[in-house]
Structure 1
Amino acid sequence: MAMLIALIPALAWGSVGIVTTKMGGTAAQGTLGMTLGALIFGLSTLFFYVMPAAGADYALNPRIWIVGAVSGLFWAVGTAGQFVAFKKLGVSVGNPLSTASQIALNALMAASVLGEWTTGKMWIFGLLAIVAVVTGAVLTSLPDPDSQIAPNPEHDAKGGYIALTLSSLGFMMYFVFPNLLNKIGFISDALHSAPDGSGLHYMTAIVGPQSIGQVVGALIIVMFIMHEGKTMWQPATFRNILTGLIWGVGNIAMFISAANPEIGQATAATLSQLGIIVGTFGGIYILHEKKTSRQMKYIILGTVLVVIGAVIISNLGNFA
């Protein structure tokens, strides 16, 4: 059951690029709409699960609120950058590149900072797996120099890669921050592990304040960085609430898995990124992003490498 929960984010988050593209609007509208959906999901989790199941000690704990809100701010940076990259690179290119960078950064942070890779064998196989993931993502994004397909009119490789870099750093901190604050003692082990060592109370309690941080972060980015304050309340923003609800399901499943000792941060973050399969092929077959036969061969090979790398990382405990 724990492994099935850990796979939910892959399906939910792999669908995000497809759903937001279908909902339409600018990257700013997609970002803000998604945070509104996340807010609905986060507050529902707080009032209908955390308060009755874990009580006020978790639902109203000021330290949990600080961790959640800051994590949400990091997420807003990650999401805004990712949506910009999707617009400039296309979902079928932006998704695998974003996925690879997140797998690599999250695994390395969890391994080095959180100490989840404890032996030389784990580091050797972990680094080999990251190489496979990065190589696979690069293959999925290779252009065909002989392609006659008309380019995306919004295509901007440089802008897309800059956005992806900022996005990956934001998502890395969003993933790692809740467990990092436990590692440094801001969140006690007793608070972090309840009930019964699963961490369920802490990770679900984070979701409510996290969603508020997400909305605040999105508003700041949309108004002061993207300069789209005048267009942020148009219909496309509200359509993208659906994107946020889908993302919320994956979010809570990911944090539950990260807190579960049977899964861990590195494995949970890695499995969550298997949404590359949904995002890459969904961009091609659902959004009709054109690819040549040569590119499809690269995409299939690259996807296989990413999956192999992710599976190795999720089973590193066998090398301890």
Structure 2
Amino acid sequence: MHILIALIPSLCWGSIGLLSAKFGGNSSQQTLGLTLGGLLFGFLTYFLWVLPHGYAMNWQIVIIGLVSGVLWTVGQGFQFIAIKSMGVSRAVPLSMTSQIVGNALLGAALLGEWTKVSQWIAGIVAIALIVLGAVWIQTEDKTGKKSNNDIKKNAVGGFLPLLLSTLGFMGYFIAPKLLQRWMDIPAQIINAEHGVQYMITIIFPQSIGMVIGGILFVFMITHETKQLISKITFTNAITGVVWAVGNVALFVSIANPNLGQAAASTLSSLGFIVGAFGGIFILHEKKSSHQMILISLGTVLAVIGAVIISNLDYFANII
């Protein structure tokens, strides 16, 4: 069951690019709309879950949630910009693959979740399979010809935002676990219900940080302020609710002692498979037969990698 819960974020987050593309709007409308949906879910979580259960909410948790939320907006906002330039079926796999490598290694190294050499070997093999799978999934057609202007546009308009997006998402993933150590949160709060209480309590301040980050992103990065408050913006709030469902599942999975940060974040990032096939079959992004073969093989490799990392101790003992 814990594996199924850990896979919920990949389904939800892999659908975000598809939903945003369907709903339309510019990067600012999509980002702000998504944060508003996340804020709505944050309110509901606080009043229907946190308060009734009497979960502790102190100033450290508020700060950690705000920081995590702002970093998430950096990640999602720049991902939207990259999608505009590169398309869903290419941008989403690249983005989530980068997150897989960064988050898994951060969880393993900074949080000390991989303590044995055999765990590192199995974990790196799993990451390599997932990365190779994602590379094949987003590979361009060998027969496709691009002008120098197109190449330059992709490099500047696509890959740079993807880099910034990856850094933002990495910060969002690691902040709740890393900052709890730096800010000396009492052990009874962190360990309550195996850490689920702490992670769920973060969601409400995190959603506020998302909105703050969304506003800053619009006025400082994109400068797309015309028609910001519009029907399109509020329609994109639906993507925020979808994202928030995945966010809760991620936090529950991170707190699960059978998974941890490295495995949970890796499984949550398998949404590139949803993004790739959704871009093809829902958004009708054209692919050649050569690309479809690579996409199919890449999906198989990614799934094998996910199986290994979600059963890391088992495969580590085999080595």
Q: Give 1:15's aligned residue.
A: 15
Q: RMSD in angstroms over aligned alpha carbons? A: 1.8
Listed as ranges, the gaps of 5+ residues in structure 2 are none
Take 1:50 and 1:164, find their aligned partners in 2: how far apart are those partners? 34
Equivalent pairs: percent with the same residue? 51
Take 1:217 and 1:185, find their aligned partners in 2: how far apart are those partners? 22
Take 2:294 and 2:259, find their aligned partners in 1: how far apart are those partners? 31
Take 1:16 and 1:154, find their aligned partners in 2: how far apart are those partners? 26
Take 1:255 and 1:45, find their aligned partners in 2: how far apart are those partners? 13
Q: SS at 2:206's partner residue?
A: helix
Q: Answer yes or no: is 1:85 the counterpart of 2:79.
A: no
Q: Give 1:237's aligned residue.
A: 233
Take 1:166 and 1:314, find their aligned partners in 2: how far apart are those partners? 27
2:186 aligned to which of 185, 188, 194: 188
Contact in 1 for aligned 2:138/2:276 (Cα 8 Å): no
Where does 1:157-306 land on structure 2 (aligned, <5 Å)?
Answer: 157-158=154-155, 159-184=157-182, 186-195=184-193, 198-306=194-302
Q: Answer yes or no: is 1:115 the counterpart of 2:112.
A: yes
Once the 2 structures are TM-superposed, how far is the Cα of residue 217 of structure 1 from its aligned partner?
0.5
Q: Answer yes or no: is 1:30 the counterpart of 2:14.
A: no
Contact in 1 for aligned 2:60/2:183 (Cα 8 Å): no
Aligned length: 312
Q: SS at 1:230's partner residue?
A: coil
Once the 2 structures are TM-superposed, how far is the Cα of residue 300 of structure 1 from its aligned partner?
1.2
Cα deviations by residue, 1:272-298 (Å, 9 ceiling, x for unpaired): 112222111011000000000011111
Take 2:130 and 2:163, find their aligned partners in 1: how far apart are those partners? 16
The one-letter code of the counterpart of 1:50 is V
Contact in 1 for aligned 2:3/2:310 (Cα 8 Å): no
Change (3 A) 1:112 1:148: closer
Cα deviations by residue, 1:242-276 (Å, 9 ceiling, x for unpaired): 00000000001101110111221111111111222
Cα deviations by residue, 1:197-228 (Å, 9 ceiling, x for unpaired): x2121111100000000000010011111111
Contact in 2 for aligned 1:54/1:201 (Cα 8 Å): no
Once the 2 structures are TM-superposed, how far is the Cα of residue 70 of structure 1 from its aligned partner?
0.3
Take 2:257 and 2:54, find their aligned partners in 1: how far apart are those partners? 19
Q: Answer yes or no: is 1:135 the counterpart of 2:103.
A: no
Listed as ranges, the gaps of 5+ residues in structure 1 are none
Give the structure-2-normalised TM-score: 0.93
